Amino acid sequence: MSSKPTIYHEKQVKELCALHALNNLFQQKGSYSKSELDAICSRLSPNVWINPHRSMLGLGNYDINVIMAALQKKDCEAIWFDKRKDPACLNLSHISGFILNVPSDYKLGFVMLPLRRRHWIAIRQIQGNFYNLDSKLEVPQLIGRSSELIAYLKEQLECKEKEMFVIVSKEVEQKHLWINQTLPNANDQQLANHSPAERIASFSTYDYNNRDAECLRITEVRNCVVSRENF
């Protein structure tokens, strides 16, 4: 009988789900710290009274720009996944993990407040199985093997309010090894015939003007380049 894997699972504190997702993704306590993410916020938007990349109170609520900059410090990249594509096109052997951005209810103690916030969740493979490492879960949730993961991702991405980022090494991103080169269905073939501008214009409907959405248009994300020399 195989032994149960040891899984690092950081629990939710304040609005630090992005920090928890990063540490859970790398399976190591202290892979990143709050002070490190705050420093990234300051470097992304220096000399401002209210930093647009985190909550006004400084409790967390970091946006995708902070996550991308943090990943780049470890020579990794976060690639926005176009939900019109079938997750079956993913080459899982070259993917380090996933980060989902999902809607989340907001609580004050035991009181549910009428606020809609965003929440970051890490998913990765551990000893052959994929796990949902959501910091709001009591324990990691077993998803299963590759086929179960693809089915799980398909189900998650059916929700228009959810977004997914594929986490890969910089080399994998540069060589496009994270995605299978063969197009699995007619929808993907149709996408391939579109120009980059047409693909961007037809992204899924999303409230990008809402600060709490924490997901930017892919053009904004791609243009957010943080020099490693500053870290």
Q: Which of 9, 20, 94, 119 is catalytic?
A: 119
Q: What is the mean pLDDT of residues 215-230?
A: 39
Q: 38 CB contacts (<8 Å, ≥6 apart)?
A: 54, 58
In a domain, 6, yes or no: no
CATH of the domain at 209: 3.90.70.40
Per-residue pLDDT tens digits for 84-121? 999 999 999 999 999 999 987 555 554 444 455 689 99
What does the alpha-carbon distance between residue 97 and residue 125 come to, in Å, rounded to a whole number? 7
Tens-digit pLDDT profile for residues 171-180: 999 999 999 9
Across all residues in the chain, what is the average pLDDT?
79
Is 20 assigned a catalytic role?
no
pTM of the predicted protein model: 0.75
CA distance linking residue 72 with residue 215, whole number of Å: 17
Least confident of 6-10, 59-63, 93-97: 59-63
Tens-place pLDDT, residues 124-159:
999 999 999 999 999 999 999 999 999 999 999 998
Domain count, the chain: 1
Work out whether strand 97-108 and strand 163-169 pair parallel, antiparallel, or are unpaired: antiparallel
Per-residue pLDDT reduced to its tens digit, 9-20? 999 888 899 999
CB 119 within 8 A of CB 136: yes
Query: Which range of residues forms the domain containing residue 113?
Result: 17-223
Classify residue 206 by burial, with Cβ atoms within 10 Å: 0-12, 13-18, 19+: middle
Bridge partners of 78, per DSSP, are 167
The Cα 93–Cα 26 span in angstroms is 16
Residue 229 in domain:
no
Per the annotation, the verdict on 176 as an active-site residue is no
Q: Which of 17, 41, 76, 215 is catalytic?
A: 17
* List of E strands, 26-162: 76-80, 97-108, 111-126, 129-132, 141-144
